[in-house]
Amino acid sequence: MIIQLKKETKPQEIKDFIKYLENKGYQIKDASSQDLTLLGVIGDTSKLDIGNILSFSIVEEAHRIATPFKQVSRSFHPLDTVVEVKGIKIGGNNPLFIIGGPCSVETCDLLKETAIFVKESGAKGLRGGAYKPRTSPYAFQGLGTIGVEYLNTVSNEVGIITVSEIMSSDKIPEFEKNIDIFQVGARNMQNYELLKALGKTKAPILLKRGFSNTIEEWLMSAEYIIASGNPNVILCERGIRTFETYTRNTLDISVIPLIKKLTHLPIIIDPSHATGKRDLVEAVSLASIAAGCDGLIIEVHPHPEVAYSDGAQTINYDSFKTLMKKATKIAKVIGRGV
Ligand code: PEP
Ligand code: MN
């Protein structure tokens, strides 16, 4: 961290300030020139609150040089993290991990039929929300426990990895019994108590980016899970809210190479929530694969128009089949399998 002190700061005040930082365990390098009083703070500054530094009346400016996230950063862990779920490896140079399924779990039969279909098309994961974070309290809220149990039944019968959203820590035991990958939804990305509780489990966590969060805030949320003891984090970009209204959210493709540069964690793209429109899902999926993502999570339903939630962004079986064929070709071009 670099700290610039105000011009009029007295030598004794500078000494006292340096002592304050040294007492916190930091080494201070004086980089002052004739015009500027500059201090370099050396050590693990992730624990140093920049707001606290700026609150000193003698401080003009303070800037971080190192990232505030530590364990998720590429410099801390240069090799790609590979998350293993039931023998399937996600991340690194492993085949893409593609997840298909309905927004919400509806009936057990429908879930099973969809699971068989997406698996036959080449997907290794089945999605389905049992606890749904709906904007309206009057909208379908999900089947709850019974939906979680359907996912487990279908997973065992079909042989597919399940992904479902967990909204509160009291459901951890239920999820540990029934679900393979726990999804933290956009709305809960900064629910730090939930993140800390998930950090105490061994479950793979699919951490979605909040719709108004910066990449740094998203990575700090991943840091919460890892710092609490669980290294099995998979990032999921699902677009952010911008001024654009043609799409539900805005997906910045550059997030993929950026995440690869900043961190060692796998990244999966959700083209369904990113666009909100089913006719945009295929193109965004293919572009994401070309940009180097580690997988996709796509909403699929045999009859999207009657889906309990998110029908407008849900693709049908034919579209999913076509998408998977094209995805396989693009993946091959960049040296990845599906
Ligand atoms: C979902 O995956 O169904 C969902 C609610 O996603 P998000 O949290 O990204 O809005
Ligand atoms: Mn949805």
Q: What is the pLDDT of residues 141-196, one digit of tens each?
A: 999 999 999 999 999 999 999 999 999 999 999 999 999 999 999 999 999 999 99
pTM of the model: 0.93
- Closest atom of ligand 1 to CA, residue 188: 8
**Per-residue confidence at 47, pLDDT binned at 50, 70, 90?**
confident
* Fold of the CATH domain 2-63: Alpha-Beta Plaits (3.30.70)
Nearest CA to ligand 1 atom 4: 185
CA of residue 167 to ligand 2 center, whole Å: 14
Regarding the beta carbon of 142 and ligand 1, being less than 6 Å apart is answered no
Q: Which atom of ligand 1 is nearest to the CA of 103?
A: 3
Q: Which pair of tokens denotes residue 308? A: 């309990």
Decide: residue 266, CB within 10 A, 0-12 exposed, 13-18 middle, 19+ buried: buried
Enumerate residues with CB within 5 Å of ligand 2 (an ion): 103, 310
CATH topology of domain 83-333: TIM Barrel (3.20.20)
Instruction: Note the helical H segments in 231-277.
Output: 255-262, 271-275
Query: Which pLDDT tens digit goes with each residue over 87-117?
Result: 999 999 999 999 999 999 999 999 999 999 9
Q: Is the CB of 133 under 6 A from ligand 1?
A: yes
Q: Give, for ligand 1, the residue of 273, 275, 296, 297 to mutate: max count of ligand atoms closer than 8 Å to Cβ.
A: 273
The two domains 2-63 and 83-333 share their CATH topology (first three levels equal) = no
| Domain-wise residue ranges, the chain | 2-63, 83-333
Atom of ligand 1 at shortest range from CA of 297: 2
- Report how far ligand 1's centroid is from the alpha carbon of 185 (Å): 5
Nearest protein Cα to ligand 1, atom 10: 186
Establish whether residue 278 lines the binding site of ligand 1, counting it when its CB lies within 6 angstroms of any ligand atom: no
What pLDDT sits at residue 34? 87
Q: Could you identify the atom of ligand 1 that is nearest to the CA of residue 104?
A: 3
Residue 224 · residue 192 · CB < 8 Å: yes
Residues ≥6 apart with Cβ < 8 Å to 192: 221, 224
Residue pair 231/265 in contact (Cβ under 8 Å)? The answer is no
Contact (Cβ atoms closer than 8 angstroms) between residue 274 and residue 247: yes
